[in-house]
Structure 1
């Protein structure tokens, strides 16, 4: 195998940094509008980021335009680190997050759409910084890598390897045979849905600033809110919460199916096996938790959060159940109520959703529903093989036969995911967390979820973690966002061997 094309890697990191800096400059008008001194720090951070990117790109602009698989993995992983390192600058230059480990954690939590935070008083933060914080979600949600893939043809660079590394899930559905056209249409859908939610939230009673921040956080399945109480701040406005539930659900679905739905091809959407599990599973778990809240505990525990009590106890129980289920399942991490204060059974059910995840091809994190479907079918396949060892019985998904290589990949992913979860939980206990908190912090970081259980529950945050714990959780957020293999393959010796 030929040597790695480091020049094209560095050139791409430069482009990533330039785009990131331009996004930072978008936050400056928000700071100017609110007459904040921090506008100078944000402006300086944006200019610095663009300058770094320009230098990296300029001195490597004549690199050979060939990108192989190895370059693709390096570009995606290093690109995400470049985003994070430069993304910390607005926090550092404005001194709003003075400890660098905290700034790195908050930034990577944004780009990875995890939504875990170290901020203890969000509402006291400057508006320009809060916008940038939400913007990191929006950038990371679809992946700035995919955005750059859309413009790479202008530079004579092919982008298939990058798209596959950015979205390494088992699904290979495309809306258009050209990968750049796919990227463009994904971003068009993403932008349109964000704008639509912004308009609806503003109409429902949010301020324009809160509406745009929550719209970006919802469509990215991120979870950063501009309020200390998250969406519980709007418990007196059921309409706002239902709007967010609907858009969280849309964001957790495969964006290719969303494209078909927007084209009026609803039957094609429901022909998707994964979507049917996602749709009916969400309804089923929501109704189960609603039943448990209403019949097996004091429903006033939920309803008392709503002022005024507009539609009654049962509606309130259903709304908070639906909000919690959709928020956790899509790995958004918004909070309307503290589900750890409900019955133990409800807490266990919701925590189990940490290991499900949204749909492949969505902005959600986690294991993904399609992997669970294939694993369950593969298990039944083994039962059948015990009875009929000579029979050829394929594992079928969406009417087609699943290749064994895909099945092995999914099983390997799951085993590795659970192994990392177990080892990381143990390691976090060495960093000072109790067992329940270590369990919650690991599941949250690896699944890019946000609030969890223990001392990182929906009414707490990650500020109390030790510095080593924050760095380690940041690592978990990164590998979880890029679905393990993309990052971990770089740590293997054979990746760097010349063949």
Structure 2
């Protein structure tokens, strides 16, 4: 284990976190809020801890293995979350440490689940920091670090693979640093475009910024108690479109940049992703048409909620908890499917679902024709056995964590729908669940042990499970 390099990386993460907090501090100064000084105190603490960790005898061995990459990512996200929760505790905005940690982890993991019953009571600087954590966590803080720091050595890809969502990560260009820059370039451009369109729709600058952060990171923290319900149809439509856009694999956008538009549009995951969205919108629109009386209004809200749930953003225009059971069932299924690999969305990922479906088809064919030889293909290329194996292992680990989490949360003795969807909403980084944790409610009713379990689930879901699980395996810390 390359402890020196892990320490060096965590030190830089804390330094970057201090920089990430500075816009929120400026917002606090603009609005003359006392809570701004809680942010400033946390910035200083991050630097006091982070700077010595970076300067303390720079590591000689730059190359480290996949295990080191996973551990670095897991510990970095824990450190990021703990320090990010301090402004809420110090300012008294969220005085209970576990509640503050829940809210912060929900922000960085782009989950959007909240323990707050009155969001609008928070100071502006805290609302800004709360939403900005979505934008920071959306693409990944270590990916951001790779674009900035002059690092050398063979660990870049291990860091990117450990933090990036999806079954596999590919380089767009020969160097990982250039790939990271392209990813963030696309991310920033899409964010600026959404911000501009919201401002054109006469949304206040503060609202436009915070909602863009939530949309880009597919997080879903709103700054109003009704989430997105009080905004105009135009503004809601812009957010719908960009939620879906941020749920697309960024590889597709890179192909578009290379003017390989036809190749990008032929991407199997993209077609499956858009097909699922369109099918779900049509099914829900038909099911809720009578509730709204206007088919266009039904389509608008169905499109928003489908886009919000499948991309794991979690915004809401209406309380979909009051929709018919069929529509709620469709939304719950979308929670598990999630967005595309290589996007800012959570969930199992569309590419995994497609490969699993093809695996089932292959097995059925094998039963009918035992001597036939066939390979699973994606975009015309054979899928390596190692990728299929990793997907199967991921699914097993995912189901085990899900089962144990439900068992522990059930000790709170709430109804099954609340228990089941509270875990679904957190491990898939969705935001709202159903019933007592629905879009018009919050997670504040849960006990401290349940909140700690869901904090673990949010981190596990964002980091694709294994970087977090490895922290609890004794062999990870042993020297061989």
Relative to the length of structure 2, the TM-score reads 0.97
Contact 2:216–2:243 at 8 Å: present in 1 too?
A: yes
For 1:156 and 1:289, the matched residues in 2 are separated by 50
For 1:254 and 1:480, the matched residues in 2 are separated by 18
Aligned partner of 1:341 in structure 2 is 322
Offset at 1:59? 1.4
Aligned partner of 2:292 in structure 1 is 299
Comparing 259-268 with 463-472, greater Cα deviation is found at 259-268
- 1:189 aligns to 2:189 (yes or no): no
Find the residue that maps to 2:110 and give its secondary structure. coil
1:361-384 CA-partner distances (Å, limit 9, x unpaired): 001111000111111111111111
Alignment counterpart, residue 332 of structure 1, candidates 308, 313, 322 = 313
Aligned partner of 1:279 in structure 2 is 274
Offset at 1:467? 1.2
Aligned partner of 1:149 in structure 2 is 146
Find the residue that maps to 1:89 and give its secondary structure. helix
Offset at 1:441? 0.6
Aligned partner of 1:269 in structure 2 is 264
Offset at 1:202? 1.3
Structure 1's 223 and 92: CA in aligned 2 closer, same or farther, altered over 3 A?
A: same
For 1:347 and 1:64, the matched residues in 2 are separated by 52
Structure 1's 240 and 263: CA in aligned 2 closer, same or farther, altered over 3 A?
A: farther
Q: How many residues end up aligned between the 2 structures?
A: 480
Unaligned runs of 5+ residues in structure 1 are 301-312
Aligned partner of 2:339 in structure 1 is 358
Contact 2:247–2:311 at 8 Å: present in 1 too?
A: yes
- 1:180 aligns to 2:161 (yes or no): no
Contact 2:88–2:95 at 8 Å: present in 1 too?
A: yes
Map 1:443-454; keep pairs closer than 5 Å: 443-454=424-435
For 2:416 and 2:57, the matched residues in 1 are separated by 48
Aligned partner of 2:389 in structure 1 is 408
1:132-167 CA-partner distances (Å, limit 9, x unpaired): 111111110001011112234346674111111112
Offset at 1:263? 4.5
- 1:316 aligns to 2:297 (yes or no): yes
Find the residue that maps to 1:363 and give its secondary structure. coil
Aligned partner of 2:90 in structure 1 is 93
- 1:11 aligns to 2:8 (yes or no): yes
Structure 1's 68 and 193: CA in aligned 2 closer, same or farther, altered over 3 A?
A: same
For 2:178 and 2:323, the matched residues in 1 are separated by 46
Contact 1:174–1:256 at 8 Å: present in 2 too?
A: no
Alignment counterpart, residue 68 of structure 1, candidates 65, 69, 86 = 65
Find the residue that maps to 2:419 and give its secondary structure. helix
CA RMSD of aligned residues (A): 1.5
Contact 1:432–1:466 at 8 Å: present in 2 too?
A: no
Contact 1:115–1:450 at 8 Å: present in 2 too?
A: yes
For 2:404 and 2:298, the matched residues in 1 are separated by 36
For 1:38 and 1:208, the matched residues in 2 are separated by 21
Relative to the length of structure 1, the TM-score reads 0.93
1:266-288 CA-partner distances (Å, limit 9, x unpaired): 21221110000011221111011
Alignment counterpart, residue 166 of structure 1, candidates 159, 163, 168 = 163
Contact 1:245–1:327 at 8 Å: present in 2 too?
A: yes
Alignment counterpart, residue 368 of structure 1, candidates 330, 344, 349 = 349
Unaligned runs of 5+ residues in structure 2 are none
Find the residue that maps to 1:298 and give its secondary structure. helix
For 2:64 and 2:127, the matched residues in 1 are separated by 36
Contact 2:111–2:429 at 8 Å: present in 1 too?
A: yes
Offset at 1:233? 1.8
Map 1:111-130; keep pairs closer than 5 Å: 111-130=108-127
1:407-465 CA-partner distances (Å, limit 9, x unpaired): 12112212221232222112101134321111011001100000011210011011111
Contact 1:152–1:159 at 8 Å: present in 2 too?
A: no
